[in-house]
């Protein structure tokens, strides 16, 4: 059932840990994640330039996110077939050239098509870049490696409104894409020298049916989540999401019996990896809703300006960065289970406290709360990013990486969709009379309860889960048999 890699494929894990490669991959991730949401602030300007309704511009964001999600399953096979270095360099070049095409687009149709190309590049950059870093990293250095790879996912959603707003206000929306040109060129040149060369497996066959079912399912789910956010009144969101679930279920059934499946689904038999798909999915879903809910609550509920709201939300960014040097030592000291439980439980508390905020709450207190929220967010992200690969065999790494990247994309989209749905559910609820922030209070309280499911899942992990990564020296010592009685005792002469 499991897909096997041939000896000629790029599966070696004997390369030395390379921080510069990890930093390069993280930089490309940041470009991809940032471009997923940065257009939100520029939609009115783009609509004005093209002479179309603002709602129509949303298609450019949906097309990008859908292409990224649908392209990830194929990227793993491409890395095995062609070689990870070639695919990664090609992805950077495609993303950069597509950014130029976006900037010079004369109308909405061309912009949308350019965004699809950009999404195709992003779909290969993220999982293939992660694969390159993981293959060259021993388990004892995995925490350090993932510390580099986690920060783009933490910072991009928080910085996107600020960066997009500043570029659109002081320059033009075109610079949202033009800024990628020098960054992409530098990343491409760096990749040529930093990414190790390796031959692909030309005999590796593609599971066409598995790919068709997986990409159709993921695409339908993404469209359903986007429709649930943008057009909640119609039935198409539920229909699309249901079709996506059915297609993914069919893909699982097929890959369980296929001779050369697209993914090796035996990765789910590893408890530490499965934690990413259960409690980790819930964690990312709830966390992803915060950059969506907070600015809306501050603007709609509190009456703040977009700039005021954006500056306050940047406190989450400060918490993310401030705690980052301590996340690895904390995980090494207390272990994965303890930090996952703490990170999710503390995040649930901050969500509940956000529901209690009012326009009269001292802004210094709000700022401090959001800094703490960002710190707890960073701890959980780092722990899940590392523990999922702690017990994965090298032959399973490509499948585990592709499955993880797909679920991360779905969790991010689901977080925004669920947040928007909760706002509509609590709008006009009697529990919040004459309170413009009432719907957001209900949403934050619900997210706090959802986060507790992640806490419960983490509590079910073994106390030493992922110890080979979090405490490599201690884990090896515990595996040694105890010394025989009298060993080390000085014998009398």
Half-sphere exposure of 221 (CA within 13 A, CB side): 24
| Separation of alpha carbons 176 and 226, rounded Å | 22
The 3-state DSSP class for residue 197 equals: coil
| Separation of alpha carbons 27 and 39, rounded Å | 19
Q: Which of 318, 280, 319, 311 is nearest to 294 (CA)?
A: 311
| Separation of alpha carbons 156 and 153, rounded Å | 6
Q: How high is the pLDDT of residue 286?
A: 92
Ranges of residues in the chain whose predicted pLDDT is under 50: 1-15, 476-481, 487-493
Q: Cβ(105)–Cβ(111) under 8 Å?
A: yes
Angle between helices 397-426 and 58-82 (to 10 degrees): 170
| Separation of alpha carbons 391 and 396, rounded Å | 10
DSSP state letters, 100-131: HHHHT-SSHHHHHHHHHHHHHHHHHHHHHHHH
| Separation of alpha carbons 267 and 390, rounded Å | 12
| Separation of alpha carbons 404 and 391, rounded Å | 14
Give the H or E element holding residue 24: helix 19-37
Alpha carbon distances (Å) from 406 to 66, 90, 121, 263: 11, 20, 15, 12
Q: How many helices (H) and strands (E) does the chain have?
A: 19, 0
Q: Which of 195, 459, 470 is nearest to 327 (CA)?
A: 470
Q: Which structure tokens are listed for 15?
A: 């390369």
Q: Which residues contact 227 (CB under 8 A, 6 or more apart)?
A: 234, 236, 237, 240
Percentages helix, strand, coil for the chain (3-state, rounded to 5) are 75, 0, 25
Q: Cβ(370)–Cβ(319) under 8 Å?
A: yes
- Tokens 């991009």 found at: 156
Q: How high is the pLDDT of residue 472?
A: 62
- Tokens 């413009």 found at: 436
Q: Cβ(29)–Cβ(126) under 8 Å?
A: yes
Q: Which of 409, 334, 347 is nearest to 374 (CA)?
A: 347
Q: Cβ(394)–Cβ(13) under 8 Å?
A: yes
- Tokens 């993303």 found at: 95
Q: What is the pLDDT of residues 160-209, one digit of tens each?
A: 766 777 777 778 788 888 888 988 899 899 888 887 776 666 667 878 88
| Separation of alpha carbons 477 and 332, rounded Å | 15
Long-range Cβ pairs for the range 322-327 (8 Å, 24+): 322/371, 322/374, 322/375, 323/374, 323/375, 323/378, 323/379, 324/147, 324/151, 324/378, 324/382, 327/147, 327/378, 327/379, 327/382, 327/383
Q: Cβ(176)–Cβ(73) under 8 Å?
A: no
Q: Cβ(237)–Cβ(278) under 8 Å?
A: no
Q: How high is the pLDDT of residue 2?
A: 43
Q: What is the pLDDT of residues 472-483, one digit of tens each?
A: 655 544 444 455
- Tokens 């993404």 found at: 222
Q: Cα 401–403–407 angle (5° rounding)?
A: 115
Q: How high is the pLDDT of residue 232?
A: 65
Q: How high is the pLDDT of residue 431?
A: 58
């Amino acid at each position: 059932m499991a897909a096997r890699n041939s000896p000629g494929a790029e599966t070696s894990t004997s390369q030395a840990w390379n921080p510069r490669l990890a930093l390069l991959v993280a930089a490309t991730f940041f470009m991809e994640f940032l471009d997923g949401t940065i257009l939100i602030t520029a939609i009115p300007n783009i609509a004005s330039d093209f002479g179309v309704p603002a709602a129509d511009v949303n298609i450019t964001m949906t097309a990008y996110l859908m292409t990224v999600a649908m392209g990830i399953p194929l990227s793993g096979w491409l890395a095995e077939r062609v070689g990870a270095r070639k695919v990664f360099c090609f992805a950077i070049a495609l993303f950069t050239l597509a950014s130029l095409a976006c900037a010079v687009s004369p109308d909405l149709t061309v912009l949308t098509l350019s965004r699809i190309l950009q999404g195709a590049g992003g779909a290969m950059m993220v999982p293939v870049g992660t694969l390159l870093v993981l293959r060259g990293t021993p388990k004892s250095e995995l925490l350090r490696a993932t510390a580099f790879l986690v920060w783009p996912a933490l910072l991009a959603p928080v910085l996107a409104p600020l960066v997009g707003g500043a570029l659109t206000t002081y320059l033009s929306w075109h610079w949202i894409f033009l800024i990628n040109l020098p960054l992409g060129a530098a990343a491409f040149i760096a990749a040529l020298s930093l990414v190790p060369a390796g031959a692909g497996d030309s005999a590796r066959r593609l599971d066409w049916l598995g790919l068709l079912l997986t990409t159709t399912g993921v695409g339908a789910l993404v469209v359903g989540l986007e429709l649930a956010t943008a057009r909640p009144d119609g039935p198409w969101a539920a229909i699309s999401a249901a079709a996506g679930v059915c297609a993914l279920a069919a893909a699982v059934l097929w890959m369980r019996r296929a001779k050369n499946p697209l993914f090796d689904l035996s990765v789910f038999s590893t408890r530490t990896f499965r934690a990413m798909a259960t409690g980790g999915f819930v964690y990312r879903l709830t966390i992803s809703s915060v950059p969506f809910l907070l600015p809306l609550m501050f603007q709609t509920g509190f009456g703040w300006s977009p700039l005021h709201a954006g500056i306050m939300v940047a406190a989450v960014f400060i918490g993310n960065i401030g705690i980052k040097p301590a996340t690895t030592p904390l995980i090494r000291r207390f272990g994965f289970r303890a930090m996952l439980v703490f990170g999710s439980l503390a995040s649930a508390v901050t969500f509940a406290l956000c529901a209690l905020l009012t326009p009269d709450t001292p802004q210094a207190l709000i700022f401090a709360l959001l800094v703490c929220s960002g710190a707890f967010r960073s701890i959980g992200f780092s722990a899940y990013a590392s523990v999922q690969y702690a017990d994965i065999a090298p032959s399973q790494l490509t499948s585990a990486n592709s499955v993880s990247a797909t679920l991360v994309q779905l969790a991010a989209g689901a977080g925004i969709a669920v947040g928007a749905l909760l706002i509509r559910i609590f709008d006009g609820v009697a529990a919040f009379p004459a309170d413009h922030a009432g719907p957001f209070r209900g949403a934050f309280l619900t997210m706090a309860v959802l986060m507790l499911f992640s806490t419960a899942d983490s509590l079910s992990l073994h106390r030493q889960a992922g110890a080979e990564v979090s405490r490599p020296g201690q884990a090896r010592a515990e595996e040694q048999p105890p010394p025989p009685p009298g060993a080390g005792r000085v014998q009398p002469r």
